[in-house]
Amino acid sequence: MRLDDHAARARLAAHDHGVLVTLHPARGVDAVPVVYAVDDDHLAVPIDSIKAKTSQRLQRERNLEADPRATLLIEHWDRNDWSQLWWVRAELLWQGASTSDAVAERLAANLAASFTQYRDQPFSGLLVFRIAAVTGWSAGSP
């Protein structure tokens, strides 16, 4: 059953992790697991300063500079009860430097409230997106 916009956005806001997909200029789809926070029509993915990286800038940042479109896919799986299956896909547009400080501060606070690891906001930045569209599907009633 297709989820309406309200139900899909509610599941997106209630969830906290998923797979972020950006576009690599040479190899195409670039998918990575991420945590995120939602505030109205914006969604943020932290850039962790505490995790080891092979370079100072993540590939997803470079991908977004080349093409600001992204997708976040979240889902629920129950191997014993397939009536509980659902997924939500958020089509996103990276905001770059145009994000207001107030929006970024609310998203950072949401991440800190959701994850004890982020309580002191140990991230070097946020990838802030505008949520352009949300679609979803559920095996059962929404």
pLDDT (tens digit, 9 = 90+) per residue, 84-119?
Answer: 999 999 999 999 888 889 999 999 999 999 999 999
Q: Is 111 left (phi over 0), alpha (psi -120 to 50) or beta?
A: alpha
- The pLDDT score that the predictor gives to residue 142 is 54
**Residues with pLDDT less than 70, the chain:** 49-56, 141-142
Domain spanning 5-138, CATH architecture: Roll (2.30)
- The pLDDT score that the predictor gives to residue 55 is 58
- The pLDDT score that the predictor gives to residue 124 is 84
Q: Which residues of 65-86 are buried (b: 16+ CB within 10 A; e: fewer)?
A: eeebebbbebeeeeeeeeeeeb
Structure tokens at 140: 């059962």
